[in-house]
Structure 1
Amino acid sequence: MPFENVPDPGALAGRRIVITGAARGLGEAIARACAAMGATLWLADILDGAGRRTAETIAGDFGKPVHFSQVDLSDADSIAAFGCAVRDMWGETDGLVNNGAIATNVGGKRFEEIDIGLWDRVQRVNVRGTWLMTRALSPLFSRRARIVNLASDTALWGAPNLLAYTASKGAVIAMTRSLSRELGPRGIGIAAVAPGIVRTEATEYVPKQRHDLYENGRAVPGPQDPDDIVGVVGFLLTDYALALTGQVLPVNAGFVFT
């Protein structure tokens, strides 16, 4: 069914939005919300079959084409090729949601136990991938373009036993602030959203005690679902949010205050 829980059903009409990590979970929910707000979408994910099914479903629900490309955020050539495809098809884009990332070792190993290969892969996808995707699409950004980076509140409260992921999301927050000053003169706004643990397929492996920590520690207790996040992301992609550039919004039902 079409997604209805959005702040303004027409606020993204006519805008071309790229969303990474959009095959399932939070990325899929963000894509549905943007489609409900009128955006034309291009989805990217390493999961080819799931991504194509998501694109086809959203296209059917909202009655407009949805593009999909398989993209490996750990591969610079894959990202560059995707940027060329967007340029050749659209010429210009009005928004980017850097949602694609990997989360590993949640509530698991201490910092001295983390495998170096695991550390490098998390940083390569979550940090370098976010930078390279932004760089690849930057020449195509219209003056009204908006970027939303998905960070994590783990970087705001210093979650233990999760150093590789926490460090990567801290870097995303830092990049958001720096890029706001580099892109601002072009009229481009960028912000970060920092959710807590969101109940999706990607977090099914998270230990129960970690879920309980969040769900019992929120000002509004309980689990957090993708639908709790997407309205904020949609709003940040609109003209209403330009003055929020460089900011980090902890959308986590009050687990962390900033």
Structure 2
Amino acid sequence: MMLSGRTILITGAARGLGRALAQGCAAEGARLVLADIDAEGVAAAAAELGARAVTVDLGDPASISALSEDIAATEGELHGLVNNGAVATNVGGMAFEDIELELWDRVQRVNVRGTWLMTRACSAMLRASGSGRVVNVASDTALWGAPRLLAYTASKGAVMAMTRSLAREMGPDRVGVTCIAPGILTTESTEYVPAARHSLYQDGRAVPGPQSAAEVTGTVAFLLSEAALTLTGQVMPVNNGYVFVT
């Protein structure tokens, strides 16, 4: 199994893609720490997989620091971090002129600053492991320029840029940093997305039709493995061919 003996932290793991990623990593033998602001949801996910659940607010630097200190004290090591937690629900469907400042700031605070702070908080453990891996979850909206979704699209574009910079900073310690950019997946987390946007993706993919969160898990498990270091700094649109990157 690709992740046997490796301790992996996944944020945003209570539902949707995060929970599917946890299931995929568990199947590959990982020892999991699952984090989410939804204490009840993440506890249920952890119980299902025999993992440990922790509560974290990615908008709160003190909460992020407390999480990393807890992992250091309880697990003693960390081999992989999946920065999946983000604000997405109800951030779209409006013209850029109509976005309120508080909404913009909240999305950047969680999606961008939270990703940076979580990586910073875990960096010492990842470096010490000798084969640390960070997988950032962005979105292909930042690759094709999705309209009426500017706050979210801008935040995920920033995550892609951070991935490249972090790869160079952490590479000397053999820590690989990569990024996946999925499209719309069929999970409970995307039920609010208008049907027209779902159809746009399903009709426009090279492999037509819906895409489940489970279809992304194998890629992420590999990126968290010791074999994936050669891919550091790369952004991968795991969207069944809706967007191609050259």
Query: Is the partner of 1:206 in helix, strand or coil?
Result: coil
Which stretch has the larger CA shift, 105-114 or 177-186?
105-114
Instruction: Return the match for 1:55 from 42, 46, 50.
Output: 46
Query: Which residue identity is paired with 2:65?
Result: A
Q: 1:204 is matched with which residue?
A: 191
Q: 2:111 is matched with which residue?
A: 126
Structure 1 stretches of 4+ with a deviation exceeding 3 A read 104-107
Which stretch has the larger CA shift, 97-106 or 31-40?
97-106
Q: 2:157 is matched with which residue?
A: 170
1:14 aligns with 2:5: yes
Give the superposition deviation at 1:14.
0.4
Give the superposition deviation at 1:106.
5.8
Q: How does 1:154-193 map to 2 (within 5 A)?
A: 154-193=141-180
Contact 1:17 1:41 in 2 (8 A): yes
Aligned-residue sequence identity (percent) comes to: 61
- The CA deviation string for residues 131-174 of structure 1, in whole angstroms up to 9 with x for no partner, is 11001111111111111000100000011100000000000000
Give the superposition deviation at 1:91.
2.1
- The CA deviation string for residues 46-89 of structure 1, in whole angstroms up to 9 with x for no partner, is 00001101100111xxxxxx111010001111001001101111
Q: How does 1:210-225 map to 2 (within 5 A)?
A: 210-225=197-212
Q: 2:72 is matched with which residue?
A: 87
- The CA deviation string for residues 105-149 of structure 1, in whole angstroms up to 9 with x for no partner, is 465101111011000000011000001100111111111111100
1:73 aligns with 2:58: yes
TM-score, normalised on structure 2? 0.97
Contact 2:92 2:152 in 1 (8 A): no
Contact 2:91 2:103 in 1 (8 A): no
Query: Which residue identity is paired with 2:20?
Result: A
Give the Cα separation in 2 of the matches to 1:88 and 1:171: 31
Query: Which residue identity is paired with 2:215?
Result: D
Q: 2:101 is matched with which residue?
A: 116
Gaps of 5+ in 2: none
1:238 aligns with 2:235: no
Give the Cα separation in 1 of the matches to 2:17 and 2:92: 20
Give the superposition deviation at 1:11.
1.0
Contact 1:104 1:165 in 2 (8 A): no
Instruction: Return the match for 1:99 from 67, 81, 84.
Output: 84
Instruction: Return the match for 1:140 from 119, 125, 131.
Output: 125
Contact 1:180 1:245 in 2 (8 A): yes
Contact 1:25 1:200 in 2 (8 A): yes
Q: How does 1:20-35 map to 2 (within 5 A)?
A: 20-35=11-26
Query: Is the partner of 2:82 in helix, strand or coil?
Result: strand
Give the Cα separation in 2 of the matches to 1:31 and 1:69: 14
Query: Which residue identity is paired with 1:110?
Result: A
- For these two proteins, the number of residue pairs brought into alignment is 243
- The CA deviation string for residues 169-199 of structure 1, in whole angstroms up to 9 with x for no partner, is 0000000000000000000001000000111
